[in-house]
Structure 1
Amino acid sequence: MRLVIIVGSVRQGRFGPVAAEWLASRARLCDDFDIDVVDLDTVWLPDVMLADPAASRPQAVQDLAPWLAAADAFVVVTPEYKQSFPASLKNAIDWYDEEWRAKPVAFLSYGGASSGLCAAAQLRQVFAEAHAVTIRETVSFHAHHDQEHLDRHGRPDLAGCPFNTGNEAARAMLDRLGWWARALRRAREAEPYERATNLYLGA
């Protein structure tokens, strides 16, 4: 199965790439997943949505679409800013539709007094509207600030991060994510997923 880990923050000196690299290293220990890491800072999605939903999507949106469409599962790495998630992440979710449907989404959150769990809670509502299935198990890190775990060259310092406390949480989350990814892939293969609106309103 293909797991896509999405780095949601685009701020300078982000902790997100460090967290994503660590989670990818945990996921590679599993036999379930092939892993891609998508950093929203490098995909250059437009921040102005199209007025006409039938219009052709911008090239950057088209370039990322196959990576998301091929995924069987997602982990969203999100900070918490003012008790919510970053605008860059909402923008990325809104550009896509079918790519999210009937697929499981888990969260790695960090920052703030809630360890980013306020951001994760709001994302659960957003992904429900995208017809995705969110995973209860979450990895969260308390009070990890963006600049804390960069080396003197500004690169992620994985060795300097106290991630050992998150190993068990990551294992539980990845196990549950794998279960849902297998179950939902079988379901999509047996019957294509369609919006409920067309099924029950006489269409």
Structure 2
Amino acid sequence: FKALFSNYLDNLKNIINSKAISKTEIECLICDFNVLLREQINPGKANGLDRQNFRSILYNKFGMSDAIIMDAVFRTFDTDVDSFISVKEWIEGLSVFLRGTLDEKIKFCFQVYDSNGDNYITKEEMFHMLRNSLIQLPNDEDPEEGVKDMVEITLKRMDYDHDGKVSLADFDKAVREENLLLEAFGTCLPDRKSIRGFEQQVFQHQLEK
């Protein structure tokens, strides 16, 4: 059994292809996943973590609170589109969350913002995400007009080929020129404090060695 489990971890390591996540850390993430699976509100759904429970994890462990962004992060984690986060998807997603390179984070954030999966971030998608995060800000003017202005400003900054939408190539170039644009349309990656807290909790026994 130990040999089989070791091979399983090696396969996951090869799939993730990230030097940043160690084999021991993958094992810790699997254990954490199994605990979360047992704690699900609907334990009968054992295919993986469902949307409701995954959103609770994003909120409680990583401080995310934007419902639209959390749903988009769920969709990005859920690569096989079965409405559950499997252990493989859990580890792949967390490898970007915790130790992702800039390349990996750019691709991840772009996929989060590309809500319809057509490989572009459109004005409509920008407006939808920014409206949800900015609409509650106090403003004497029409808040939706303010969001539209924000979309136009952001589009001018990121739309290098001037086709009225942002491709992955546009997004990549914009972020490399100004890193703050990585999460231009909503916070979809955990901050450093949340990452440290998660790692201390999940990798605790490893850190104590």
TM-score (norm 2): 0.28
| Structure with the larger helix share | 2
| Structure with the larger strand share | 1
TM-score (norm 1): 0.29
User: Highest Rg: 1 or 2?
Assistant: 2
